[in-house]
């Protein structure tokens, strides 16, 4: 049975593995630990849940408070990743429901997210849980 709970620093190894396998972000465990430690300090801004089965972390969702000068506040999902062996079992839906619950409890107007243009399976998943695409964008990045 899947349990959803707040992330802990001890989840770093599992999160690092999930990021590499499911999202293609292969960074060092040290960076993962440093980032988790830093982000957990501010639970009003960063909301991070893990899904576990029999005390094994099998997925996570990370959202942040999204505040701009052109809209009311909402949550912005930065990551939703499930271990490949546990996909298609409703875990992503459970994690997203927890993110939506936090948004509702905080009286925020919406949950938003971006998904890579080629991630068609992810797009179908988000549509199946009630999300719709409202614009096309290009992401620009400059390494400093």
Q: In a 10 Å sphere around its CB, with 0-12 CB exposed, 13-18 middle and 19+ buried, how is residue 47 labelled?
A: buried
In angstroms and rounded to an integer, the radius of gyration of the C-alpha atoms of the chain is 15
Which pLDDT score is estimated for 70? 96
Per-residue pLDDT of the chain (144 residues; tens, 9 = 90+): 999 999 999 999 999 999 999 999 999 999 999 999 999 999 999 999 999 999 999 999 999 999 999 999 999 999 999 999 999 999 999 999 999 999 999 999 999 999 888 888 999 999 999 999 988 888 898 999
Question: Is 37 a member of any domain?
Answer: yes
Q: What is the CATH number of the domain that holds 47?
A: 3.40.630.30
Which pLDDT score is estimated for 136? 83
Q: What tokens does 78 get?
A: 């930065």
Tell me phi and psi for residue 12, to 5 degrees. -55, -45
Counting the structural domains of the chain, the total is 1
Which pLDDT score is estimated for 137? 82
Reported residue count of the chain is 144
pTM of the predicted model as reported, rounded to 2 decimal places: 0.93
Question: Is 135 a member of any domain?
Answer: no
Question: Is 24 a member of any domain?
Answer: yes
Question: Is 136 a member of any domain?
Answer: no
Closest CA to 77 of 69, 65, 89: 65
Question: Is 139 a member of any domain?
Answer: no
Question: Is 137 a member of any domain?
Answer: no
Which pLDDT score is estimated for 138? 81
Tell me phi and psi for residue 33, to 5 degrees. -60, -45
Structural domain harbouring 38: 2-128
Contact 50, 44 (CB under 8 A): no
């Amino acid at each position: 049975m899947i349990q959803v709970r707040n992330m802990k620093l001890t989840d770093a190894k599992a999160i690092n593995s999930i990021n590499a396998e499911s999202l293609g972000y292969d960074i060092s465990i040290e960076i993962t630990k440093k980032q988790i430690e830093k982000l957990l300090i501010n639970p009003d801004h960063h909301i991070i849940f893990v899904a576990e089965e029999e005390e094994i972390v099998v997925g996570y969702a990370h959202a942040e408070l999204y505040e701009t000068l052109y809209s009311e506040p909402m949550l912005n999902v930065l990551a939703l990743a499930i271990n490949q062996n546990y996909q298609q079992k409703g875990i992503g839906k459970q994690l997203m429901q927890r993110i939506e619950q936090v948004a509702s409890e905080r009286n925020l107007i919406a949950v938003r997210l971006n998904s890579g243009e080629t991630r068609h399976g992810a797009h179908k998943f988000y549509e199946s849980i009630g999300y719709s695409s409202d614009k096309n964008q290009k992401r620009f990045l400059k390494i400093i």
